[in-house]
Structure 1
């Protein structure tokens, strides 16, 4: 039996760890090679494909305009005396941003009309299309339609950026799908087989949960182990019966039973470690529901503003649908967790996915403003249910030894979706329209529900009702806990001056203001999606680094304060002139700043409420902190929308910078004074749940 543990490590490495690693490397290398080849081919074709397209656009527009001008000439109006041509051309150029100028010249080449003149010193900078203006079969002039080659070059660059974004996001999505499929069909069954074989080799025949029917080898091993376990049980029962009928023979059999008990393990196993690989299921389920929701991030406020709302919405026209979603999340999440505990992770996840699907489908199919607000609230409720189901699944399938890994899988999927979804949604919105992107999100939510129905177990997770931390009767009254937390100045400073502002800025700036401001600057939805990606990239890359630094140097409070100060400084420069680059600076500052502060906030919550947690547990305290954060997130778009309506989007961004800077500096002061008044540093953090 002493060889069981070394054999487990060796078998694990030989049987599936090394083959899976090689499979991943080979498959991803193959995908990368194919994607690079396709991307390079598309890159080379981008300019050759766009130039004729702009030429055809100029030809088509010019033909239509020439026909309208010809009808005016047919009424006997001389070409030189046509009325309203400059205003008409200005409207056409406003509707066709790819056109640089429209100009009419007479037969001698003299310019008669033109809303924008081409630079005569650099005619090579324009792609000029000339069409004759006919009257009674004779050409009396020409209409020139010009396209700026710099605009064409910008479109080519944008197309190439889109190619690069598609390359990155497709590889990330392929990685998520590959990880899910390999884990479900190979890694998890192999670990289960290896666990059963190792247990049996070590003499452990205790009864465990039956493997899934599709795992044939694991089922056979489980059956063999169950028969041996059952056989020992029959032997024990026979010995007990023998004691009643023939005590002397039973005494001879007892040493044999004792040796069997010492050499082997029988009975029921408390837990089955072979089920641990199932926590990877939460990654693909988390990725799918976040991806479905975040597809609309680059344009949702702009789309809302485009729908007629009457006078009821007022300054909240663009922000109210965003707030409805966030308020739905904030108010539903506390109840969603308890409901998921009662109904089971499978049922609750499917219900949440169907709610999200219904909300996104209504958004895409019904172009009505108030239907949009209701649909976004419904989507928020579904989002909260799915989030709590995934988080609960992690807690059900992990313990203190691997819960950190489980939560890392959960949060990692969210970060990957934060990178991929806005970029993909922006590209699709430019090409197929807003409503089709909403319908795509609904389809993704439906796929998530189907996958959950196929891979998650039915019923309520075992042990949920028996876990003391989950029983409300084991906690002090909520009013008593609230009263104690209100008197805790460090908790108040952390919640009101750090946690709430962080979520306020995230929703008010990133979710609401960035699409509005960048759209107003003339950027496409694809560009907005690329800008938004920066937040997810910085969070994914830097959050582990800052968490390590906080742990190593015990610098939780300084990192929380520094993250807020950095965010404020990044948002302020736009006050001196709005530009895409300064908005990108603000997004990057928000991403880096929140990477510094988010994980440190939870550690500080556990530390500064150590005394309250001894009586109430850490869960209710963290739950209250999260509720305050979510309410701050719901307030962000409303307040920012009001600022943007009154002062403009750029000044609203600067106001957010002042708010972030002021809240962070005030947090530093209040927290330091409260810590000094406490008289001693906070103790080690307790385990907290998100």
Structure 2
């Protein structure tokens, strides 16, 4: 009887956990999506409200601030004029007034005119690019006569804000100084503020999106999914698992309660086993013993219990979201300087020139950027081995140390030589951290979801690039280059703290590859690939030129060119941001179109032609829109060719992929294309010194166009390299 009661209790416990009619929908995903949407909606409303308030405040204060600055300039001028008149020089016969007034415009470009009138309103002296227009506006509006009652007054006159200051000799009013600032200048300043506020709004939303995604995944979706898996196992009668939930939230307490039930069920089961053995030992009737064994057999068949003394199996699994937050913050720290790095290098070079025979100033500016790319290329293969040996968590923490030293050292650098050292440290740190995160994602992603997991990795990097490029330009304009680097340095410990809280290395024992065998296999793969004319054509015609135009035109030339045209760093950041936005929006679509049409070669060639052709516009239009068009075309072209280039590898290198593995071949592609990343800034700088900005940008475009044309002709002559294999026909 006790045996039957215990059996009935176990069956009822299992059936009470879940019934067969419970739907199998993913409740964790359902709930997390709604929490995510609600949080972002609240943030969006709050940030839009703050942005509108900030813009109204700026608009209300900007014109009076311009008036106060004009009044400050006017007081300096009137004091000197009044002093001269006080010495007895006739007010209408002051000499040297043209150069005296013209000196004001050098340091105050917003001032359009300076006009001096006598007590009768007659204009005695005039200077400035808007003097004629301002004089006509003052006369037609009657602003010159009578003299204003206030000592200083500002009012709108025609297309100007006119600030008038009364000049005196003793107690007598002898005339007035009129300082004019174009209203279009004030509107332009307001527009810059609006652009900055909108940039901050977009970046804040993107950062909030990333952080909310991480928190929802770790604190909501993962606990719910863990509870759901535990319930499913209990429903099937499997009492060997433990959710290991946190007691600080409702889901965690629920999971802990389930674990308590599981432990008690296992205790009851082993108590039942002990009772059954005692009953069997005291029975002499074989039929009773047979019935007891039948009941126990039914229990073992229907349910699964822990072995006596064994610990429950922990259902907690590594989460891809755990690495997403630290990676985003780390890459954001590096990307903050994207929009002004060449300008900062030029500033250091100008302050402390470093003369190297054979290297021009432009080449010296491109040298730190090229060295940064070179150090990434050299460190990447070693970082993969270090990840296997030390684990993601430890390697990421180690990587942050040179990153922190590099960011602080870059902020305090006194010369280009100092910058070379500290940017090398930053590059080593960047390679180690990104490869560590990539290795973690590869290890923890399910076998059928690695592509989606890598999309999370790439998406975090691209999102950080958008935020860093845009907000870095705004920060550099407002607080300076060095302070922005210090902010980047502050983000690195924050990434480390987030990593320590969220990330656990995968509890999987991986077989470490033989280093000697791996290096030999990689070298043989390089030799085989360089003997494949299709692969060589792809590298020389697309992969290397694509990286050259990216680092040469976008990263090196664009900030310098826009500064040459008179635009600030915030504008450079917004222009460069458009490239990353297009890559995120169009990259997946282009990959899907290329796969659907099976025309990867066409997409690669078209992307190269579009990238190069768009840049050629700077030869005909020397303005902001030409640069923006070139960056936009580059983003469109790179979005079209990036994924299809990777998809072409199994087609044109089928034999090498079968022999060495597709991962090894793709790694070789990544290493080889770094040649373009290193050469891009150096080549752009060399051409810049000889043919100017337009010539250097156009040269990058010509290289990409030429490479794309030669690639198309080469693949047409060589064929696509595909061979029919069993089970697959030629498309």
User: Partner residue of 1:512?
Assistant: 556
| CA positional deviation for 1:142 | 4.7
Q: Compared with structure 1, are the counterparts of its residues 37 and 127 closer, same or farther at alpha carbon in structure 2 (3 Å cutoff)?
A: same
* Residues 1:412 and 2:453 are matched in the alignment: no
Relative to 1, partners in 2 of residues 1:110 and 1:162: Cα closer, same or farther, differing over 3 Å?
same
Q: Give the drift of 1:94.
A: 3.1
Task: Tell me, yes or no, if the aligned pair for 1:325 and 1:376 is still in contact at 8 Å.
Answer: yes
Q: What residue in structure 2 maps to residue 688 of structure 1?
A: none
Q: Distance in 2 between matches of 1:89 and 1:638?
A: 45
8 Å CA contact retained: 1:508, 1:637: yes
1:197 lines up with 2:242 in the alignment: no
C-alpha separation in 1, matches of 2:584 and 2:619:
29
Q: Across the two proteins, how many residue pairs are aligned to each other?
A: 678
- Asked if the contact 1:134/1:140 (under 8 Å) is kept, the reply is yes
The equivalent of 1:610 in structure 2 is 654
Partner of 2:699: 655
The partner residue of 1:526 within 570, 579, 582 is 570
The equivalent of 1:36 in structure 2 is 48
Q: Measure the CA separation in 2 of the matches of 1:297 and 1:476.
A: 37
Q: 1:295-444, aligned counterparts within 5 Å?
A: 295-307=336-348, 308-312=351-355, 314-444=361-491
Superposition pairs of residues 65-80 of structure 1, within 5 angstroms: 65-67=77-79
Asked which structure has the greater CA Rg, the reply is: 2
Q: 1:613 to 1:83 in 2, by over 3 A?
A: farther
Distance 1:129 1:394, change over 3 A: same
Tell me which of 181, 184, 194 is aligned to 2:215.
181
Q: Which residue of 1 aligns with 2:9?
A: none
Q: How does 1:547-586 map to 2 (within 5 A)?
A: 547-586=591-630
* Residue 502 (1) aligns with residue 546 (2): yes
Partner of 1:53: 65
CA distance in structure 1 between the partners assigned to 2:540 and 2:172 by the alignment: 77
- Assess, with a 3 A threshold, how the Cα gap between structure 1 residues 353 and 218 changes in structure 2: closer, same or farther: farther
Between 223-232 and 123-132, the greater mean CA deviation after superposition: 223-232
CA drift at 1:225: 4.6
Q: Deviations over 1:110-147 (max 9, x none)?
A: 44462434214456122222335566776666544321
Q: Is the 8 A contact 1:282 1:409 kept in 2?
A: no
1:167 aligns with 2:224: no
Moved more, 534-543 or 161-170: 161-170
Aligned pair partner of 1:640 in 684, 694, 698: 684
Checking the alignment, whether the CA contact within 8 Å between 2:241 and 2:314 is kept in structure 1 is: no
| 8 Å contact from structure 1 (residues 341, 464) kept in 2 | no
Confirm whether residue 152 of structure 1 aligns to residue 204 of structure 2: no
Q: Contact between 2:354 and 2:415, CA under 8 Å: does it hold in 1?
A: no
Shift of 1:78: 7.2
Select the residue among 71, 74, 77 that pairs with 1:62. Answer: 74
The correspondence of residues 248-287 of structure 1 with structure 2, limited to 5 A, is 259-265=298-304, 275=316, 278-287=319-328
Q: Distance in 2 between matches of 1:657 and 1:237?
A: 82
Q: In the alignment, what sits opposite 1:97? A: 109
Q: Deviation of residue 148 (structure 1)?
A: 1.6
SS of 1:203's equivalent in the other structure is coil
Structure 1 position 218 matched with structure 2 position 268: no
**Separation (CA, whole Å) in 1 of partners of 2:69 and 2:627:** 32
Q: Quick check: 1:348–1:389 contact (8 Å CA) kept in 2?
A: yes
Match of 2:613, SS state, is: helix
1:478 Cα deviation (Å)?
Answer: 3.4
- 2-structure distance, mates of 1:569, 1:681: 37
Could you tell me how far apart the structure 1 residues matched to 2:388 and 2:242 are? Answer: 23
Paired with 1:508 and 1:230, the residues of 2 have a C-alpha distance of 69
TM-score (norm. length: structure 2) = 0.83
Change (3 A) 1:321 1:143: farther
How large is the RMSD of aligned CA atoms in angstroms?
A: 3.8
| Distance in 2 (alpha carbons) for counterparts of 1:5 and 1:61 | 82
* Distance (Å, rounded) in 2 between the aligned partners of 1:523 and 1:381: 32
Alignment of 1:231-246 (within 5 A): none
Q: Aligned equivalents of 1:125 and 1:209: distance in 2?
A: 71
8 A contact 2:651–2:722 mirrored in 1: no
CA contact (8 A) 2:579 2:632 kept: yes
Distance 1:71-1:329 versus aligned 2 partners, 3 A rule: farther
| Residues 329, 491 of structure 2: 8 Å contact kept | yes
Change (3 A) 1:254 1:29: same
In the alignment, the residues of structure 1 paired with residue 688 and residue 454 of structure 2 have an alpha-carbon distance, to the nearest angstrom, of 37
2:167/2:175 contact within 8 Å kept: yes
Would you say the 8 A contact 1:610–1:683 is kept in 2? Answer: no
Deviation sequence 1:449-498 (CA, Å, 0-9, x none): 110011111xx644463277x87637863332222111111111222221
Deviation at 1:4, TM superposition (A): 7.8
1:96, distance to aligned residue in structure 2 (A): 2.6
TM-score of the superposed pair, with normalisation by structure 1: 0.88
**What is the distance in 2 between the residues matched to 1:173 and 1:483?**
44
Of the structure 1 ranges 190-199 and 131-140, higher mean CA displacement relative to structure 2 is found in 131-140
What is the correspondence of 1:478-497 to structure 2 with a 5 Å cutoff? 478-497=522-541
Classify the secondary structure of the residue corresponding to 1:130: strand
Q: d(CA) in 2 for partners of 1:505 and 1:71?
A: 60
Q: 1:526 to 1:107 in 2, by over 3 A?
A: same
CA distance in 2, matches of 1:5, 1:591: 53
Structure 2 SS opposite 1:100: strand
Asked if structure 1 preserves the Cα contact closer than 8 Å seen for 2:242 and 2:314, the reply is no
Map Cα deviations across residues 494-540 of structure 1 (whole Å, 9 max, x no partner): 22221111111111111111100111111122211111111111111
Q: Secondary structure in 1 aligned to 2:111?
A: coil
Contact kept? 1:66, 1:133, Cα under 8 Å: yes
Q: Does 2:40 align with 1:23?
A: no
Classify 1:652/1:70 alpha carbon distance in 2 versus 1 (closer, same or farther; 3 Å): farther
- TM-superposed CA distance for 1:548, in Å, is 0.8
Shift of 1:102: 3.8
> In the superposition, relative to structure 1, how do residues 219 and 366 fare at CA in structure 2: closer, same or farther (>3 Å)?
farther
- Partners of 2:274 and 2:592 lie apart in 1 by 56
SS in 2 for 1:602: helix
In the alignment, is the contact (CA less than 8 A) between 1:391 and 1:410 conserved in 2? yes
Q: Secondary structure at the match of 2:69?
A: helix
Contact kept? 1:297, 1:425, Cα under 8 Å? yes
Q: Output the CA distance in 2 between the equivalents of 1:644 and 1:289.
A: 32
CA positional deviation for 1:46: 3.3
* Cα deviation digits, residues 579-623 of structure 1 (max 9, x gap): 100100011011111111111111112332222122222222111
The residue number in structure 2 matching 1:626 is 670
Q: Unaligned 5+ residue runs, structure 1?
A: 686-690
* Per-residue deviation, 1:209: 8.8
Preserved CA contact (<8 Å) 2:541 2:711 = yes
Alignment equivalent of 2:129, drawn from 110, 116, 128: 116
Shift of 1:279: 0.7
Give, in whole Å, the separation in 1 of the partners of 2:82 and 2:19.
90
- In structure 1, which of residues 451, 455, 466 is the aligned counterpart of residue 511 of structure 2? 466
**Structure 1's 406 and 231: CA in aligned 2 closer, same or farther, altered over 3 A?**
farther
Alpha-carbon distance between aligned partners in 1 of 2:374 and 2:30, rounded to the nearest angstrom: 47
Describe the shift of the 1:201–1:299 C-alpha distance in structure 2 as closer, same or farther (beyond 3 A): same
